[in-house]
Amino acid sequence: MVSIKVSAAGKPIALARGLPMVVELSGKQLEDATVADVKSAIAKKYPGFYFDRQKITLKDSKNTLDDDITLKVAGVAEGGELSVKDLGPQMSWKTIFLVEYAGPLFIHPVIYYFPEIFYGGPVQHSMLQRYVLAFVMLHFAKRELETLFVHRFSHATMPFMNIFKNSAHYHLGSGLALAYSVYSPVYGAASPYIRGTVRNDPLYIQAGAAIWLFSEISNLITHIKLRNLRPAGSRKRAIPQGYGFNLVSVPNYFFEFLGWLVIATLTGSYAAWIFLVIATYQMYVWAVKKHRAYRKEFGSDYPRDRKAMFPFIA
């Protein structure tokens, strides 16, 4: 049996006022007892302080211990001490993704099909507007399906408050702002901004649609490749290879960028360009972080000529 003391990191935890406590793991040794076992024991005693709210660290350390690491590997001795911190209310990644992607799926058709509410009168929609609606609806429908059937998440949950921040990015940026801009009379069939210009040229629009479709299919392929790297229920990690991965560490972000670039270029909408800049900046920050993590984890085995997000550039 393993006996470990667990105390609160910093201020007392309202959901576990009995801390510090001694966790006894019957039938376990330091070699096979894991951090997850300790979390489960804490949650059993304090049900409100559930598993995913807990952050376990070594005493006087801020570095999170992974759930599957054994106490021996973590450097904990028999009778040793761990610290636990309350991460606050949590929500599953899958739920947050489903909510944030649902926003544009609702907002775009409402503004497109009920222009009288938003512009004070009907709008004779142009070919460009019809294509943009199709792009957005297919893109976010794809994302919802990927969330349900493709993605495997490294962590089960994220802080509950993230749902508001993440949703604002999509509901306001690629949702309300983009829809209100692109479905307005400015982009209508009778508008001088559209009539007689390249924005009403079927060849121009269909060429953009071909690039957009390529980017969406490519994005899906990279997501499937990432899924196949990690078997269900496993934390196994490997170097991704093929279809974009030989050029950049996160080609899924590059293809995402390419799809939104098509919409911004076809429409010339300020809302589309602003969303593209904000989204690309955030994806690039994440890409660099992921790129550095790959290099740190795999060392000399990781291809040195790969860039983070943009092939041959950065």
- DSSP state for residue 235 in the 8-state scheme: -
Q: Which run of H or E residues covers position 148?
A: helix 127-149
Closest CA to 250 of 218, 217, 214, 209: 218
Q: What is the spatial distance between Cα 182 and Cα 45, in angstroms, rounded to a whole number?
A: 55
Strands across the sheet containing 54-58: 21-25, 2-8, 81-86, 54-58
How far is residue 178 from each of residues 141, 172, 184, 207, 276, measured CA to CA in Å?
17, 8, 10, 21, 11
**pLDDT of 85 above 90:** yes
Structure tokens at 72: 């021996």
CB neighbours of residue 128 within 10 Å: 26
130-183 pLDDT, tens digit each? 999 999 999 999 999 999 999 988 778 999 999 999 999 999 999 999 999 999
Query: Which structural domains are found in the chain, ordered by start?
Result: 2-87 (3.10.20.90), 91-301 (no CATH)
- The 10s digit of each residue's pLDDT in 176-201 is 999 999 999 999 999 999 999 999 99
